[in-house]
Chains A and B, each alone.
Chain A
Amino acid sequence: MNTRKTLAELKIGERAEIIGFTDALLSLKLLEMGCLPGSEIEMTHLAPFGDPLAIKVSGYTLTMRKDEAATIQINLLNN
């Protein structure tokens, strides 16, 4: 089974590891906000209508829109 996905496909409660980014401009912003490759993230909330979403990464909560989340490549972790 291929466990590689983007963050946008993650379901609430699922955890994953950040692999990389597909958007150069966004990746800088994400890095600066603490989303580093190798760090573990957990999908915690979806806003009504499924967008934006909130994730937990190294102890704090970040929000982003679905299209922004789709630029983050992840590796699903087994819970």
Chain B
Amino acid sequence: MSQRPKIALIGNPNAGKSSLFNSLTGLRQKTGNFPGVTMDKLSGIWEIEPGQEVEILDLPGIYSIYPKSLDEELVINILGNPANEDYPDMAIVVADASNLKRNLLLFSQVRDLGIPTVLALNMIDVAETEGYVINSIKLARELNVEVAEINAKKGIGINGLRLAVGKTLANRYASNDALPLPVDEQMLAGIQLKFGEADPYRSLLWLMEHDRLKMFSPEQRKAFDVIQHEFQFKSEEYKTSETVKRYEALSEVVERCVINLNRQWDAPPVKTWTDRLDSVFLHSVGGYLFFFLLLFVMFQAVFTWAAYPMDAIDAGVAYLNDWLKTVLPASALTGLLTDGLVAGIGGVLIFIPQIAFLFFFIAMLEETGYMSRVMFIMDKLMRRFGLNGKSVVPLISGVACAVPAIMSTRSIGSWKDRLITIMVTPLMSCSARLPIYTVLISLVVPEKSTLFGLFNLQGLALFGMYLLGFVMAIVSAWVMKQILQVKERSYFIMELPTYKAPRFKHMAISILNSVKAFVFEAGKIIVAISIVLWVLASYGPGDSMSQVDAQVRQANPTLSSAELSNRIASEKLENSYAGHFGHFIEPVIKPLGYDWKIGIALITSFAAREVFVGTMSTIYSLGGEVDDENATIKNRMRAEINPETGKPLYDAALGFSLLIFYAFAMQCMSTLATTYRETKSWKYPAIQFFYMTALAYLTAFITYQMLA
């Protein structure tokens, strides 16, 4: 069997490309990576007729083939390079019929590249309610392509599209014309001589965009520069005149193929639902009010609703662990499987509910079109700090979990703005910090104290921690804005799509893809680190570990068996490799007020900060169910005496120092893994790790030294 033909799905943002993709491929989709680009590649299989399958590639929405951001570059790197592994056999250009002229601009460019193209006219119903009637048969004749009328959302017209695609695949006819605007024939000949025969428009694209095309080597780029210079060819001028010229030609086509009923009736424009909703959502007061109300509901959901499935997963994993321990013979291997591997996998799985909920809300905001409104009302504020209106969403999501938050930065077109957003998002206090905050605040802030007899000080302190995270995030963003010198023009020219009812199937697919990506990509690393930690905490140098048991028994003959095993566990920890590491780093963390035990917690927390409470409870020889006995850990920590001063170890200075440290330190392997995945470079997770840890160390140091 021959390979499946590849079809690229191309269109303006909001033209219905994703709907069509989902209608065609259903669940037969897979996400992958475009080589070397920070974009997920979404492809799927469409059975065009029984036994004949084609591969559909969903390309990012664009307005023209000339890229304005790094994300859009992807499209010309595929369409401009026949040697690209994703180069399509043909293209389907999805056009919003209610905005035909603008949508046809992209179509005409794709066609002129020499790619066989089918035009899929979407949203004809919308066009008709707005008073436009399109003669698609005439349009097909004028443009010399197969035209299919579809309703992507309802999946109507797919059979017509099948026919059109089948015909085009059979004859591979690319109806490209001559160049939209003539250029020097000699220049074109020069390009073709040097870089091979190609359609004239493709050769010209190479010349104009050679710096963005990865197919060309630095030497070849220089050769293009020479040609450009020799013929005094001004790319930007050409692109602008070309666009104007194309519009002129398309205007005539549209004039002939579209009947505008409004013109005949001269009816006043109707106030649409979108207009009515926007008068609330974009209102200078009401817009903010609604937005904050929405945030409130969202966090309620992520924190409270997700808690039930999270508890269930936690209990399930614990049950599985106990069951494995009873069934399997006690051995090092069993220990690795249960406390190392199963616990590690559990640590991954437990985040699924929050990620799913968060992506549900984000998908909902995106699906309905509300997300663009949030960007609109927040842009001015965020811009002052080197961010972008589009950074709001990741920053908000970061309060639940930085992993999906960083994944959601993909909607930010400007690479610089996106990078800064990725870098500062982990400073937002995520849900894993919440238990740490709770324990530490209860240690250092008196329970019954209130401010002006009104506000509970503990609650206020907790709120303060969240505020601190946000303030540090935007301050860091501002600093990075000063440092980062990327020559990329940031635009905020953006279309506000009309409001649409969410398509739940589409949302389900998007949530499923995000969860899958998280479990498999970030999960691999979390599991690996969990295993390493387990080994480090279970084994020690020489035979010190095996002697602990006997020594503790000898030293404490009167202890009950439960207390005894706790004491043994704690002694073992001190003698394990992790314990040695704790002692080893003690000099470094001493200025922050920490001892070796906190040192172990810090080290283990570098994999994932949520292990802090667990590690603390092991260290203070509690073991067992942690969450149920928070009070007991608290009491044990409260009882801990500083051997040098004879006063309680967890005084305000240490407590606040630890709080600040955990607020700012980069202690989450999954976040680093996600940053790597999203930036496709180890440089950025490394910078993220070091700047955040340095920030944490410095601020904790200052806090401790000022309070001590």
* A interface residues, how many (CB within 8 angstroms): 31
Is B505's CB within 8 Å of the partner chain A?
A: no
Given known A-B contacts A28-B66, A47-B380, A63 and B493 have beta carbons under 8 A apart: yes
Greatest chain A CB density within 10 A among B98, B282, B287 is at: B282
Are B380 and A24 in contact (CB-based, < 8 A)?
no
Are A30 and B493 in contact (CB-based, < 8 A)?
yes
The CA of A25 and the CA of B237, in the complex, are separated in Å by: 9
Is B86's CB within 8 Å of the partner chain A?
A: no
Which B residues lie within 8 Å of A28 (CB)?
A: 66, 236, 239-240, 243
Q: Is the interface of A mostly helix, strand, loop or mixed?
A: mixed
Is B452's CB within 8 Å of the partner chain A?
A: no
The CA of A24 and the CA of B234, in the complex, are separated in Å by: 12
Q: Tell me the B362-407 residues at the A interface (CB within 8 Å).
A: 372, 376-377, 379-381, 389
Given known A-B contacts A31-B244, A34-B99, A51 and B380 have beta carbons under 8 A apart: yes
Are A36 and B247 in contact (CB-based, < 8 A)?
yes
Given known A-B contacts A29-B493, A33-B102, A63-B494, A52 and B380 have beta carbons under 8 A apart: yes
Are A63 and B496 in contact (CB-based, < 8 A)?
yes
Q: Tell me the A23-79 residues at the B interface (CB within 8 Å).
A: 24-34, 36, 44-52, 54, 58-65, 68
* B interface residues, how many (CB within 8 angstroms): 39
Is B64's CB within 8 Å of the partner chain A?
A: yes
Is B492's CB within 8 Å of the partner chain A?
A: yes
Is B487's CB within 8 Å of the partner chain A?
A: no
Given known A-B contacts A29-B68, A48-B380, A62 and B493 have beta carbons under 8 A apart: yes
Q: How far is the CB of B673 from chain A (nearest CB, A)?
A: 34
| Other-chain contact of B130, A30, A33, A45, A59 (Cβ < 8 Å) | A59
Are A32 and B495 in contact (CB-based, < 8 A)?
no
Which B residues lie within 8 Å of A45 (CB)?
A: 278, 282, 376
Are B492 and A64 in contact (CB-based, < 8 A)?
yes
Which B residues lie within 8 Å of A44 (CB)?
A: 275, 278
The CA of A72 and the CA of B38, in the complex, are separated in Å by: 33
Are A24 and B240 in contact (CB-based, < 8 A)?
yes
Is B581's CB within 8 Å of the partner chain A?
A: no
Q: Quick one: closest A residue to B288, CB to CB? A: A48
The CA of A62 and the CA of B496, in the complex, are separated in Å by: 6
The CA of A66 and the CA of B98, in the complex, are separated in Å by: 27
The CA of A31 and the CA of B243, in the complex, are separated in Å by: 7
| Other-chain contact of B376, A34, A54, A59 (Cβ < 8 Å) | A54
The CA of A52 and the CA of B383, in the complex, are separated in Å by: 11
| Other-chain contact of B380, A36, A49, A58 (Cβ < 8 Å) | A49
Which A residues lie within 8 Å of B130 (CB)?
A: 59
Q: How far is the CB of B432 from chain A (nearest CB, A)?
A: 33
Which A residues lie within 8 Å of B275 (CB)?
A: 44
The 6 closest A-B pairs by CB, nearest first: A34-B102, A61-B496, A32-B64, A32-B63, A48-B284, A45-B282
Given contacts A31-B247, A61-B496, could you give 19 more A-B pairs where the C-beta distance is less than 8 Å?
Answer: A25-B489, A29-B491, A29-B493, A30-B493, A33-B102, A34-B101, A45-B376, A48-B377, A51-B380, A54-B278, A54-B282, A58-B102, A60-B99, A60-B496, A61-B278, A61-B495, A64-B491, A64-B494, A68-B493
